[in-house]
Structure 1
Amino acid sequence: MALHHWVTSQIRATAGEALRQALSESMRGQHPESDWEAPGDAHRGVPEMTVRVGIVVALASEADPLRKRMEECTELAGDGFSAYTGRIGGCPAAVIAAGPGEESARRAASALLLGHRPRYVLAAGFAGGLVPELQRYDIFVPDVLLHPSGKRLRLDLSVDRGRDAPASHGGRSWKTGPLLTVPRVVREPEEKRRVAAEFGAWAVDMETFAVAEVCRAAKVPMLAVRVITDGHEDRLSKEVEYLLEKRHIAQQLGFAAGAVLRRWATLKELWRMYEHSVKAGDRLADFLTAVLPSFS
């Protein structure tokens, strides 16, 4: 009986917490574009602050550290996503947690522009490293955005583009290079090497290119800030990849519990994934809190 209670508590404390990263995956793919409402429409009568910077993230674990650092924070709810407005480092900002994937990011970026009209947009969150130059918890500010279709967008960054020399801002350093937006998790070292060689990318994510396209069409300046959560030699298990692709929280919880009971190593990996996301989220929030005041 004691073992049973311990197993249950471990599943709740670790798998449950790790699943917070994937909660927003159920936010997209269920509503046609015509059913979508911007935050301003979903909350008529709620006064909106004028924001200088809009931030699009995918996961709750990327949004929560920013929310906790927000002054005068107000939460809004759109059609399946959460949005927060307030001041980060004194800068009026709005944060939207969109859910993973390009379609989710595209809808969230459109909502952000329509509902808050920011002067600048940041696509922020986590990314996977593809090259030795990027290590876990590095801040990565891409200067080129790549897409598997062959499309390419260049971002105008006033940072040092040297391959080995990190740029800095207020004592906080970052690295820069090409970022590839992909439709699924790249989890094997062999695949990471192949993707890096094929596309010339330094890192991968699942949202940035879509945000950039929306902003470019609207003629709104846009940058990306990513924290590396797994390096080029790190391997993510099939269980974790499957977990991140689940679309409904009930499926996520059921799979996590089953995976833990089937393979104890998965429990350790879920916990490790959670720890990495917490550290990466804090790193992202600290960096943005330091740099947002420079957006004038």
Structure 2
Amino acid sequence: MICERAQLRIGVLFALPQERKPFRPIEAAQQNLIVHCSGAGRENAARGAQQLLAQGAQYLIVCGFGGGLVEEVMPGTLLLADQVLDGAASSPQVYKPNVELFWQAQQVAPPQVCLQIGPLATVNRVLLNSAEKSAFLQKLSAIYPEKPLGIDMESFGAAQVAAAHNCPWIVVRAITDGHRDSMPFDFNVLTDTQGRIRPFPLLLAVLKQPQNLPELLLLGKRAANAAKMLALYLQNLVAVLQEPLP
């Protein structure tokens, strides 16, 4: 009698459906994946991580969109976090991924994907322009010895939960805006508690500032490309994560 080895259960945590969209065909081909969209923000991400662990996830991949804080982390780049910093803390709060899992994650980027490696900071709001990003970097330089290369709004919350449950985790963010880029509108007031765009307020914002519409369309194209690059990378990553870590 041949006993089949149980497949490793991999939890994949996105914030938003548009981050997940290009990954859906890969989900269908990988029966050992547990995928969840948590909504934006660290609290939603923490709840999403809890849900994936409750469903039996043995690894946790935290992924989605992010912003660049330095020149080399440009739109379309993927940032693999070697540490996740709390960007809202007044003293250092850091989580680092599992060494073996992180090593594997560095090896699998396909040729068309530009993978950068470095610290990522989690913030509580969208940083709207280069001035806000520069001020944020200056603030964190007084707290952390290494400056973050990028920002997001979820990863610290998810990493905190995974670490508390001794679940190996990694974070990879697909960059939609660079360090010099500005948001076309203030998405802090145009989204709901899940981070989803509210159509009517966005329409009003476009009517008030129609000159910003081309920038909004460009951001949409960049986000679609970033999600595509992320899916290509994740396809390779989940293919190699089939055995428990030593």
State the TM-score, normalized to the length of structure 2. 0.82
Superposition pairs for residues 79-118 of structure 1, below 5 Å?
Answer: 87=30, 92-115=32-55, 117-118=56-57
- What is the distance in 2 between the residues matched to 1:218 and 1:251? 33
What's the CA shift string for 1:200-219, capped at 9, x where partnerless?
A: 21111000011111111111
- What are the ranges of 5 or more consecutive residues in structure 2 without an aligned counterpart? 1-5, 141-146
> Which of 49, 64, 69 lines up with 2:26 in the alignment?
69
Question: Secondary structure of the residue that 2:18 maps to in structure 1?
Answer: helix
- What is the distance in 2 between the residues matched to 1:66 and 1:271? 22
- What is the distance in 2 between the residues matched to 1:288 and 1:60? 16
- Say which structure is richer in helix: 1
Q: Which residue of 1 aligns with 2:231?
A: 285
- What is the distance in 1 between the residues matched to 2:66 and 2:169? 17
Question: Secondary structure of the residue that 1:257 maps to in structure 2?
Answer: helix
Percent sequence identity over matched residues?
28
Q: Which residue of 1 aligns with 2:182?
A: 235
Deviation at 1:195, TM superposition (A): 1.8
**Structure 1 residue 187 corresponds to structure 2 residue 100:** no
Deviation at 1:251, TM superposition (A): 8.1
Q: Which is bigger in relative contact order (C-alpha 8 A, separation at least 6)? A: 2
- What is the distance in 2 between the residues matched to 1:219 and 1:190? 38
Question: Secondary structure of the residue that 2:72 maps to in structure 1?
Answer: coil
State the TM-score, normalized to the length of structure 1. 0.69
- What are the ranges of 5 or more consecutive residues in structure 1 without an aligned counterpart? 1-48, 73-86, 161-166
Total equivalences in the alignment? 223
Counterparts in 2 of 1:290 and 1:201: CA distance versus 1, 3 Å = same
- What is the distance in 2 between the residues matched to 1:251 and 1:100? 11
Q: Which residue of 2 aligns with 1:224?
A: 171
Q: Which residue of 2 aligns with 1:130?
A: 69
- What is the distance in 2 between the residues matched to 1:127 and 1:95? 19
Q: Is the 8 A contact 1:122 1:224 kept in 2?
A: yes
Deviation at 1:157, TM superposition (A): 4.3
Q: Which residue of 1 aligns with 2:17?
A: 60
Counterparts in 2 of 1:260 and 1:112: CA distance versus 1, 3 Å = same
Q: Which residue of 2 aligns with 1:254?
A: 200
RMSD (Å), alpha carbons: 2.4
Question: Secondary structure of the residue that 1:237 maps to in structure 2?
Answer: coil
Counterparts in 2 of 1:106 and 1:251: CA distance versus 1, 3 Å = closer
